[in-house]
Each structure stands twice: as C-alpha cells, then as structure tokens.
Amino acid sequence: MTGQQESTDHRPAFWGLINPEWSLCNKGRRQSPVNLDPEKLLYDPNLTELHVDRQRVDGMICNTGHSVMFYLENGTKNHINITGGPLSYKYQVYEIHIHYGQQDEMGSEHSINGYSFPAELQIFSFNSQLFANYSDAVQRSHGIVVLSLLLQVQ
C-alpha cells in the first residue's frame, strides 16, 4: 500500500503516518499476503462506488496446478477498466488469477482474521492513464492495482 502524493481528493498523503498500526505502509513495498483485521479497518464515507467495466474480451486460460490464470489478449480493442472507489486513475485489466486449495480449503493468498478462504480471485490491472502497458507500470508508484475477491465453496 502506498500513500497518495496529494490529499486534495480526501485521501491521506502518507497512510503509514496516520496510524502507528499502519507503519508498514511507509516501509517496504507491495506487501503480500495480507491478513485483514476487521477491528482495524476504517470506513471512508467519501469513497465512491468501485466500477468495473463489463466488456467481452478475448484471452487465454492456463492451469498452473495451483491457480488458473486468464491472460487478456494483447492489442484487443475492448478493455475492462476499473475506476472509482479509492482509485485516482483508470486501471486497465491485464490478467486474472484464481488461487485454490486442495479439498476446498485454504486456497487464498490473503486472509481475514487469520481465516484463509477456499479460493481467491485476483484481478491485475495497470494505470492506463500514466503507462502504456503492464510492464511499464509494474515497478512504478500508482502503476498497478490488484483487486482480490475471497471465495467460499458451497
């Protein structure tokens, strides 16, 4: 997690300085996996709804044995963009991963209160307003966003 350079859009300039429990946000880079503690989450009433475009796209599916990956086709005219919520820029979806465990348990990379989920869907996207592609964006501030959805099996 990195802080915003500006706080003009009601977001902090440096997350790690706001709360001592978030000091890791000022150190290191791209911390993962994350264990979310609901007791430490803060509600931000200024956030708008997160929007994900609904587009039909072409791509390739690959099963690695511990995850299923969907790679969007390069050069396609249709893009899936993610905007709103805490995002200051438009992010274009690049690839999607589905992590899963054996026997429908503990497949997620991330957890809530130490509880791992049977599966996790991760949507990788890059800042298409500042960068031409994922490779240019991946090592840069505000370059990529990964949305994770923790999945239950019924």
Pairing of strands 111-112, 59-63: unpaired
Q: Are residues 16 and 71 in the same domain?
A: no
Identify the pLDDT of residue 39.
93
Q: Domain span at residue 7?
A: 1-31
SS3 labels along the chain: CCCCCCCCCCCCCCHHHCCHHHHHHHCCCCCCCCEECHHHCCCCCCCCCEEECCCCCCEEEEECCCEEEEEECCCCCCCCEEEECCCCCCEEEEEEEEEECHHHCCCCCCEECCEECCEEEEEEEEECCCCCCHHHHCCCCCCEEEEEEEECCC
Tens-digit pLDDT string for the chain (154 aa): 333 333 333 334 455 666 666 665 666 555 678 889 999 999 899 999 999 999 999 999 999 887 899 999 987 888 999 999 999 999 999 999 999 888 777 889 899 999 999 999 999 999 999 999 999 998 888 999 999 999 998 8
Domain co-membership, 1 together with 55: no
What's the pLDDT score for residue 67?
87
pLDDT score at 105: 76
**Do residue 79 and residue 145 come from a single domain?**
yes
Say yes or no: 87 and 12 in one domain: no
Which of 10, 51, 66, 79 is flagged as catalytic?
A: 66
Q: Are residue 22 and residue 45 in the same domain, yes or no?
A: no
Q: What is the pLDDT of residue 75?
A: 79
The whole-number pLDDT of residue 16 equals: 62
Q: Cα-flanking dihedrals φ and ψ of residue 24, to 5°? A: -60, -25
- pLDDT score for 106: 84
Q: According to the model, what pLDDT value does residue 7 have?
A: 34
State if pTM tops 0.85.
Answer: no
Q: Are residues 45 and 9 in the same domain?
A: no
Q: How many domains in the chain? A: 2
Distance CA 129, CA 42 (A): 28
My answer on whether 62 and 80 are in the same domain is yes
What's the pLDDT score for residue 19?
64
**Residue 110 annotated among the catalytic residues of the structure:** no
Residue 84 sits in the same domain as residue 119: yes
